[in-house]
Chain A
Amino acid sequence: MPRRLGWTFWLSAGWIGLLLLAAIFADLLPLPRYDETLAGAPQSGPSPAHPFGTDGLGRDMLSRVVYGARVSLGVGIGAVLLGLVIGAPFGLIAGYRRRAADAVIMAVNDIALAFPALVFALAVVAFAGAGLSNVLIVLGVLGVPAWTRLIRGATMAFAEREFVVAARALGARDSRILLREIVPNVALPASSYAFIGMAVAVVAEGGLAFLGLSVQAPTPTWGGLINEGRGIMETAPHIVLAPSFVMFLTVLSFNLVGDRLRALTDVRQSGLEPARPSAATPLPTGEHEVAGTLLQVADVRTHFETPRGTVRAVDGVSFTLERGRTLAVVGESGSGKSMLIRTILGLLPGAGAVSGGQVYLEGREIGDLAPAEKREILGTRFATVFQDPMTALNPVRTIGTQVMEPLRVHLGMDRKRARQEAVRLLASVGIPEPAQVLRRYPHQLSGGMRQRVTIAMALSCDPDVLFADEPTTALDVTIQDQVLRLIHRAREERDLAMILVSHDLAVVSQWADEVIVMYAGKVVERGPAAALFERTRMPYTEALLQAIPRLDDPSHHRLRVIEGRPPDPARLPPGCRFQPRCPYAGERCETEEPPLVRAETPDHLYACWFPVGTGAGIVEGTESRGR
């Protein structure tokens, strides 16, 4: 989907175009010549006859500014073209043939950066003679390293892309690949930089002119005009302000045009909090009773507005959870499991997210609480462990600072007590020499140790609900079991309620009391673990179960996989979301979305028009894994 350039782009481009035309056709404009003295009274301010006023010799300022644009734009455009013509081939070759060129480029770069460019420009222009061509050549040459760097970077990014790698593998000639595949793709960043480079060159020329080292009088230059006007600033400020203002607008326009072009390739960014908190109206919530259990999640939704349409990442999930129970959330990647956790905790990424539904802690809605109260609950009642221990700890803070922080913020401990408590916590999760570990940084610990630290942090403020989002997926197989046992032990000792997100059904069947199966943001089956595994109703759950490799499979047995791919979340199929991949799908599945209905076992729900019979054949499968 093409992005819009926006009105700032067109306004800026319009100004540059206007200025360019005025500069080119300056002789045809109904203006006094730039060097015509006493075209008006000297030092007179702006008037209809002289919109920019006149200078000390009575010359028309508008005319002088317009003629000055010839030098500024000429140098700006010329220097950029010169830099491009020299720098681009170097950059293309360096980016495409990386190995040999890299060292040379780096060395040249080092030197170019250490070189006082403006001093050099001053010296060359002063010694070689101040004039248009010398200024242009010097500024053009000084721009070459930057051009080389830019083109090299852009080329490198594309030289690794599939289509270029494929073309190379197919034996296309290098020159052909460069011209056909890379140059068109590098053109956009290059054109963006061209405008920014023009801004730089215009400013540099202005600086030289200001010091009297550009095109010499009587030809006006913007920098020269500003320098001339300086002396009579007190009596006739317009003489210095008119060229200043025009120059500012021009440089701004070049920068804006360059930036808008660059922004075409940008990705959307989000900060810590949504940009406009009140703008999004929450999604409607279905009717529900407030149960007063430890945790109740009612009709929770999260949708993202994207250029491709609304993505329903979480689409109406409800459950309740009692103390001491473990609820597992299973599903393929992208089914909305992790997003469900983030929605419950209120930790959505800012950009374009809209959520709805309610979360109750002991019957109290937490969505409406003031931020400080919400943080209090997050800090002391809820705890979270994420998948990847490599990214879960702040790399620049010591383990001690990080473990002690919640103790000090939420429990108000002083440094000494917090340190003692941190040592105790680390020891309790099986970390040897905890006092030493407090002084370490995360990168000095192994993945398993880091996950133990995050678990210790999660448990530090004595929470009631533990959210564990794939807590072992990123760990070594040998460590996985230890960490799971550690979490399980903590759960038993503290009578925690736990929400365990996992795609590992073996883990789920071993630890969970209840299971929620998610597909494309929706709950498709939900129930007590035993009922759900033994009397599976939803074909998707069946497919998940069948996809587990088993020890008793014959060797060289084909891995069972779920056919097809998860649906595009912005373009969900009509009817049942699993229907395109479902072996049992009938006509009804394509038109009507199945609601969650009750199975014969209490609390077992599923969403399917054609539920899997009695689950024959799956029962033995789960049982053979030792439940």
Chain B
Amino acid sequence: MILRKVIRLLVVLGVVTFLSYVMLNLLPGDPTVQILGMSATEEAREQLRQEMGLNSPLFVRYADWLGGVVTGDLGTSYITDIPVLEALVDRLPVTLELLVVAQVISLALAVPLAVAAARRAGGAIDQALTTLSFGMLSTPVFVLGVVLILVFAVHLRMLPATGWTPISVDPYWNFLSVLLPSITLAVGQLAVYSRLLRTDLIATLQEDYITLARARGLSPRRILWRHALRPSAISLITAIGLNLGGLIGGAVIIETLFGLPGIGRLIVDSIFARDYLTVQGGVVLISVGYVLVNFAVDLVYAAVDPRIRRA
């Protein structure tokens, strides 16, 4: 079971990296132009291509690159001369903090909201949550981010609009600088999570064991939190894993908007600079992260639902 899962995830990793490698290499654009500039002679370009191995067949180049990846060598950027791995590791803590804080905020709000809504489906709280979540789902991150900056940074001057303070420098300022970006990122997730959990809770509340728990005279609060929540959490946990791709997309925009030196910003900058190797490294990092998170999600399933442990 676990072995099969590992193999499947490894295959996914292989295909994703191969596809992205091929696509990035097939796209128009000549790296030699980026390195040597427009005025370089064709001979100089050709020599550089030889040095960089750009003339070997695509598959050979991919195999070379993959061999490097496995040994922890993602290559060195032609543009900045910084090893790709180093650049990524340097930027990773910012993005990780952003993602984790955003997840914590959205889950901390989504779970109680969903429980309150499911208690009286169709009631006032439920309808308010439905309306609110449509609003939240329909607000693009850059719109929300701009509005939040306008309100909290420009008008109220409570929080910094842009910039980043590492946690090692000043934990308090670090918290302030991560707050607005992570709220921006959390809002869309909050809507998705609360809707998902609400729907599953309502389905669980129709089960016999819930009716029997009520027949045993247990309080609605106890029934919702102790009896209904855990059997209803599977879709939510799945969504947390699967949404990581979407979150990274959001992080790219948010890091640009709030001026955070994270992976997303690095990828955007590398794309503009035609820094293929760094972009490719970013893709690898994101896919590895996705695979690891989803592997963890599988382990969490078993903790949440004992029936899965047996399988």
A complexed with B: yes
A432 at the B interface (CB under 8 A):
no
A361 to chain B, nearest CB (A): 13
A103 to chain B, nearest CB (A): 11
One digit per residue, 1 when the CB lies within 8 angstroms of any chain A CB and 0 when it does not, for chain B 9-23 equals: 001110110011001
Within 8 A of A (CB), among B1-43: 8, 11-13, 15-16, 19-20, 23-24, 27-29
B299 at the A interface (CB under 8 A):
no
**How long is the Cα–Cα vector from A395 to B122 in the complex, in angstroms?**
27
Within 8 A of A (CB), among B130-151: 134-135, 137-143, 146-147, 149-150
A127 at the B interface (CB under 8 A):
yes
Residues A124 and B23 in contact in the complex (CB < 8 Å), given A114-B287, A384-B212:
yes
A272 touches B217 (CB 8 A): no
B121 touches A275 (CB 8 A): yes
Contact partners of A128 in chain B: CB under 8 A: 27-28
Residues A119 and B248 in contact in the complex (CB < 8 Å), given A126-B271, A271-B119, A397-B227:
yes
Chain A's closest residue to B143 (CB) is A244
**How long is the Cα–Cα vector from A372 to B142 in the complex, in angstroms?**
48
Chain A's closest residue to B121 (CB) is A271
B206 at the A interface (CB under 8 A):
yes
Which of the candidate stretches A74-82, A164-172, A206-214, A604-612 sits at the interface with the other chain?
A206-214
Tell me which of A111, A123, A345, A379 has the highest count of chain B C-beta atoms within 10 A of its own C-beta: A123
Contact partners of B230 in chain A: CB under 8 A: 396-397
Within 8 A of B (CB), among A233-282: 233-234, 237, 240-241, 244, 247-248, 251-252, 254-256, 259, 269-276
Contact partners of A210 in chain B: CB under 8 A: 142, 253, 256-257
B217 touches A233 (CB 8 A): no
B253 touches A211 (CB 8 A): yes
B181 at the A interface (CB under 8 A):
no
Chain B's closest residue to A255 (CB) is B138
Q: Can you list 14 residue pairs at the A/B interface with Cβ under 8 Å? A: A107-B11, A110-B12, A119-B282, A128-B28, A272-B119, A272-B120, A275-B122, A347-B214, A382-B215, A396-B230, A396-B305, A396-B307, A397-B227, A443-B306
A405 touches B214 (CB 8 A): no
A contact set with B: CB distance below 8 Å: 107, 110-111, 113-120, 122-124, 126-129, 199, 203, 206-207, 210-211, 223, 226-227, 229-230, 233-234, 237, 240-241, 244, 247-248, 251-252, 254-256, 259, 269-276, 342, 345, 347, 349-351, 372, 374-380, 382-384, 386, 388, 391-397, 405-406, 409-410, 441, 443, 454, 457, 467
B272 touches A126 (CB 8 A): yes
**How long is the Cα–Cα vector from A569 to B29 in the complex, in angstroms?**
71
Which of A252, A254, A272 lies in contact with B220, CB distance below 8 A?
A272
B224 touches A123 (CB 8 A): no
**How long is the Cα–Cα vector from A405 to B75 in the complex, in angstroms?**
59
B192 at the A interface (CB under 8 A):
no
B150 to chain A, nearest CB (A): 6
B contact set with A: CB distance below 8 Å: 8, 11-13, 15-16, 19-20, 23-24, 27-29, 117-123, 126, 134-135, 137-143, 146-147, 149-150, 154, 201-202, 205-220, 222-224, 226-228, 230-231, 242, 245, 248-249, 252-253, 256-257, 267-268, 271-272, 274, 279, 282-283, 286-287, 290-291, 304-307, 310
Contact partners of B13 in chain A: CB under 8 A: 114
Chain A to chain B: the 9 pairs with minimum beta-carbon distance, closest first = A379-B217, A118-B249, A271-B121, A378-B217, A127-B27, A252-B138, A375-B217, A275-B122, A275-B123
B202 touches A269 (CB 8 A): yes
**How long is the Cα–Cα vector from A5 to B290 in the complex, in angstroms?**
39
Residues A120 and B252 in contact in the complex (CB < 8 Å), given A345-B215, A347-B214:
no
Which of A127, A259, A375 lies in contact with B28, CB distance below 8 A?
A127
Is chain B's binding surface mostly helix, strand, loop or mixed? Answer: helix
Which of A248, A259, A396 lies in contact with B143, CB distance below 8 A?
A248
Chain A's closest residue to B280 (CB) is A123
**How long is the Cα–Cα vector from A397 to B11 in the complex, in angstroms?**
36
A379 to chain B, nearest CB (A): 3
Chain B's closest residue to A273 (CB) is B120
B10 to chain A, nearest CB (A): 11
B209 touches A127 (CB 8 A): no
Contact partners of B249 in chain A: CB under 8 A: 116-119, 207
Residues A119 and B305 in contact in the complex (CB < 8 Å), given A272-B223, A457-B216:
no
Which of A122, A230, A345, A454 lies in contact with B267, CB distance below 8 A?
A122
B154 touches A394 (CB 8 A): no
Which of B205, B208, B257 lies in contact with A392, CB distance below 8 A?
B208
Chain B's closest residue to A440 (CB) is B306
**How long is the Cα–Cα vector from A115 to B118 in the complex, in angstroms?**
34
A4 to chain B, nearest CB (A): 16
A-B contact sample (20 more), CB < 8 A, given A114-B290, A115-B287, A397-B226: A114-B287, A117-B245, A118-B249, A119-B279, A122-B271, A127-B28, A206-B143, A207-B252, A223-B140, A269-B121, A269-B122, A271-B202, A272-B210, A273-B119, A276-B123, A350-B121, A379-B218, A391-B209, A396-B230, A397-B227
Which of A114, A234, A271, A274 lies in contact with B245, CB distance below 8 A?
A114
Chain B's closest residue to A378 (CB) is B217
**How long is the Cα–Cα vector from A269 to B199 in the complex, in angstroms?**
9
B146 touches A240 (CB 8 A): yes
